[in-house]
Amino acid sequence: MKDLPDQALDQIAAYFQALSEPTRLKILNLLREQERSVGELAQLTSYSAANVSRHLSYLAQRGIVQREGRGVSVFYRIGDASIYALCDLVCANIARQYAQSSDARAMFTPA
């Protein structure tokens, strides 16, 4: 990142911004298993189809998911599988931090 121009940094920030919404993370977790339609995703997340569709559109604009129309349905799948390596790395880091803070709190808890 050291020598990247501002335009590239803007694109990187937009990519991370796509991951900053819990609804989009839920959708990505569901797409990890298999491609799904908007209706399926709406049902599995308990969000409206319009809300899910809006988030999928945002993810598609960033190349994170891809869409394919089949008849009257639109199916989404992961367009960038490296997203899971990134998410797994972040999740592992947060889990480590949580475990360390839990251990630290336990040291100060009266027995």
49, 3 Cβ separation under 8 angstroms: no
Same domain, 11 and 38: yes
The per-residue pLDDT for 73 is: 87
Number of domains in the chain: 2
Same domain, 40 and 90: no
- The one-letter amino acid at 84: Y
Q: Which of 65, 60, 39, 58 is nearest to 50 (CA)?
A: 39
Look up the domain containing 88 and give its range.
Answer: 81-111
Please check whether residue 1 lies inside any domain of the structure: no
User: Higher-confidence residue: 22 or 100?
Assistant: 22
Where does the pLDDT of residue 108 fall: very low under 50, low under 70, confident under 90, or very high at 90 and above? low
Percent of the chain with pLDDT over 70: 93
Same domain, 111 and 99: yes
Distance from C-alpha of 70 to C-alpha of 39, rounded to nearest angstrom: 13
The per-residue pLDDT for 111 is: 61
Distance from C-alpha of 107 to C-alpha of 46, rounded to nearest angstrom: 40
* pLDDT digits 0-9 by tens, 4-50: 999 999 988 988 999 999 999 999 999 998 999 999 999 999 999 99
Please check whether residue 49 lies inside any domain of the structure: yes
- CATH number assigned to the domain comprising residue 37: 1.10.10.10
**Burial degree of 75 (CB within 10 A; 0-12, 13-18, 19+):** middle
